[in-house]
């Protein structure tokens, strides 16, 4: 198999890991001000992701590093063309991280409530912007023959990409609500289930709208495998929702994760061998061939990846195993 293809697959795997893990992470952050009725309950919600949220973000950093090493032209075009969107995302993530660390530094209810809403905002914005970004990549953005983005921030916003943002947000919040059903106790489980059911209906409508617009606005369905993966994602989401109704939360969480996996695979399969589609001229699209590093660089990075990625996986699995138990008020120290 060509190294260019191997790195395309590895990039897909990294984004699958990121969206799966950070997806429920964002979902918990968005639900924080609504499910937590008092400070103790909000602390419980934060502690369900407290030991893992920063590790989840490592997948995004790794994916960015892999893109820079393997496909530097894509990295350059993406980070210049999507500069304002990515700046907003970065600012939101900084505020979110600071919120986790600072909210309990003071006992003032106003202090803590302010940070809770900042955590909400810092989770909401990236969740939406990732959907906008992914849909833009396959719909096409104004990239010229020199691989330069020649549009503006507002060229990234359309009905299709905004629906993509809403769909990603809704699925992530559903994923987070199901996660909370597994990680909390008592009445919080019931509240999380109700949140999952409510958000699940909105997510189902948004996902169906996304699939329909993807058929109309992109060529994703020209790839049979991509089309099958996207429709399979719809079916697994419906199955996950049904399991929430039946209170089978472990299965629902697994299936919501599979939904995220299949959606990511569908969009990457629809892109292949492209990484950014040019809306000006399809021949100007950035692909795994015209935007890649030299063969020697890819070879070195492949060796490094196969040595280090298993270590990262092992550490993250160990972390989730250590912090696998449900979180309740008795676990918190004042």
pLDDT at residue 7 is higher than 50:
yes
**% residues pLDDT > 90 (the chain):** 67
Strand-strand pairing, 274-276 and 286-287: antiparallel
Is 74:276 a contact under the CB 8 Å cutoff?
A: yes
Decide: helix, strand or coil at residue 8.
helix
Decide: helix, strand or coil at residue 286.
strand
pTM (two decimals): 0.93
Is 36:44 a contact under the CB 8 Å cutoff?
A: yes
Report the C-alpha gap between 124 and 19 in whole angstroms: 14
Question: Within a 10 A sphere around the Cβ of 212, how many other Cβ atoms?
Answer: 12
Residue-wise pLDDT tens digits, 210-252: 999 999 999 999 999 999 999 999 999 999 999 999 999 999 9
**139-160 mean pLDDT:** 90
Report the C-alpha gap between 294 and 296 in whole angstroms: 5
């Amino acid at each position: 198999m060509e190294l260019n293809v191997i790195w395309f697959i590895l990039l897909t795997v990294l984004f699958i890991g990121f969206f799966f893990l950070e997806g429920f992470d964002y979902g918990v952050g968005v639900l924080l001000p609504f499910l937590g009725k008092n400070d103790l309950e909000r602390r419980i919600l934060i502690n369900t992701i407290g030991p893992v949220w920063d590790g989840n973000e490592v997948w995004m950093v790794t994916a960015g590093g892999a893109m820079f090493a393997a496909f530097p032209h894509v990295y350059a075009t993406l980070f210049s063309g999507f500069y304002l969107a990515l700046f907003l995302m970065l600012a939101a993530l900084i505020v979110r991280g600071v919120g986790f660390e600072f909210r309990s530094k003071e006992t003032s209810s106003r202090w803590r409530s302010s940070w809770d809403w900042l955590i909400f905002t810092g989770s909401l914005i990236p969740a939406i912007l990732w959907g906008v970004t992914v849909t833009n990549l396959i719909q096409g953005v104004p990239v010229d023959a020199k691989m330069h983005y020649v549009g503006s921030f507002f060229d990234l916003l359309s009905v299709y990409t905004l629906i993509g943002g809403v769909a990603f947000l809704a699925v992530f919040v559903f994923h987070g609500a199901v996660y909370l059903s597994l990680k909390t106790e008592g009445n919080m489980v019931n509240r999380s289930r109700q949140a999952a059911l409510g958000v699940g209906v909105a997510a189902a409508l948004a996902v169906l709208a996304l699939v329909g617009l993807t058929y109309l606005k992109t060529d994703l369905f020209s790839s049979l495998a991509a089309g099958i993966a996207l429709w399979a994602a719809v079916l697994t989401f419906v199955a996950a929702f049904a399991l929430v109704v039946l209170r089978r939360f472990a299965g629902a969480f697994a299936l919501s994760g599979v939904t995220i996996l299949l959606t990511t695979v569908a969009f990457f399969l629809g892109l292949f061998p492209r990484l950014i589609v040019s809306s000006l001229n399809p021949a100007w699209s950035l692909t795994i061939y015209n935007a890649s590093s030299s063969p020697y660089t890819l070879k070195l990075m492949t060796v490094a990846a196969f040595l280090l990625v298993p270590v990262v996986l092992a550490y993250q699995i160990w972390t989730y195993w250590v912090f696998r138990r449900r979180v309740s008020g008795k676990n918190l120290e004042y």
